Amino acid sequence: MKFNSMWLTRGKFALLVGITALMGSAQAQTCSPKIPNSELVKPGTLVMSTNPTLPPMQFVDSSGELKGMRVILGNEIAKRLCLKPEYVRIEFSAMVPGLQAGRWDIINTGIFWTEERAKLMQMIQYEAQAVSISVGKGNPLKITKPEDLAGRAVGVELGGFEERMLKQLDQGLRDKGLKGINVRTFDNFATAYQALRAGQTEASVSIDSTAAEYAKRGEFDRAISGLFPTPVALAIKSPALANAVVQVFNDMQKDGSYQKLMAEYGLLANKDPIKINGPTK
């Protein structure tokens, strides 16, 4: 009953967001955009890339519509900038090159902040995430710690922070004289979880919120969580757009909508003003 109530609440929240998005589109037609077209990929439009394979953060529902916390966030940012939100669904591995090539304005997919990425893009940290290990129902292999992954086939999305951390775990096991992890990469998280479901892998790596969502659905167990906690960011090429988005975040902090959205999805809200996060000195 609690599970159904949770989804009912999210359903109402999604309905409200849909109405807000429509109002936002109307507003974008009547208010002046706060970003000049010269700073945008498409006039009057905020184009965002996303890989919708991470429920409940970003996913495609049964009717083919984009849903999730990051879609709600992107719509709100666009509304406050008096722009029309537009999403490009694409694999994560293509996102940074696409941003640099001017194919979209923002990477809105929960990209993990790293020193290397902060040298390439304007990065705005707005949440924190950690990594989880999902396993089959009942955890038949009794995986409770990273060492239990020694010699196991583990699936992960190609090119992301999660793959890097899984390979770091693999090297750590080998350094201890244990068998390494058979790291198997997939185009996206949905495919990685399909491989686990089909028995092609023995575990799968994703962010905490996605692993928890699959566990709530009863599809998989979350054997390990909270690994490598790291800030998550929006990535933007244009400094002018990045500064405007920071102002949106700060306005959302002041009116409480940012904290409400983070709480809705069980995320820890930033207490300090949100800013552009460059490389540490």
In this predicted structure, what is the pLDDT of residue 281? 64
122, 218 contact by CB (below 8 A): no
pLDDT at 231 over 80: yes
What mean pLDDT is predicted for residues 33-59?
96
The CATH class for the domain spanning 2-129+231-264 reads: alpha beta
Architecture of domain 130-230: 3-Layer(aba) Sandwich (3.40)
**pLDDT at residue 29, as a whole number:** 52
| Residues 93/191, Cβ–Cβ less than 8 Å | no
The predicted-structure confidence for 107-129, as pLDDT tens digits, reads as follows: 999 999 999 999 999 999 999 89
φ, ψ of residue 246 to 5 degrees: the values are: -60, -40
Is pLDDT at 3 greater than 90 in this prediction? no
Domain with CATH 3.40.190.10 in the chain: 2-129+231-264, 130-230
CA distance linking residue 98 with residue 30, whole number of Å:
30
pLDDT at 54 over 50: yes
**What average pLDDT does this structure show over 49-63?**
95
Contact yes or no for 248/77 (Cβ under 8 A): yes
pLDDT for the residue 121: 97
Please state, in angstroms and rounded to a whole number, the distance separating the CA atoms of residues 26 and 12. 21
Alpha carbon distance 188, 93 (integer Å): 9
Put residue 256 in one of left, alpha, beta given phi > 0 → left and psi -120 to 50 → alpha.
Answer: left
* Tens of pLDDT, residues 8-40: 445 544 444 454 444 544 444 578 999 999 999
Among 127, 153, 121, smallest CA distance to 271 is for 127
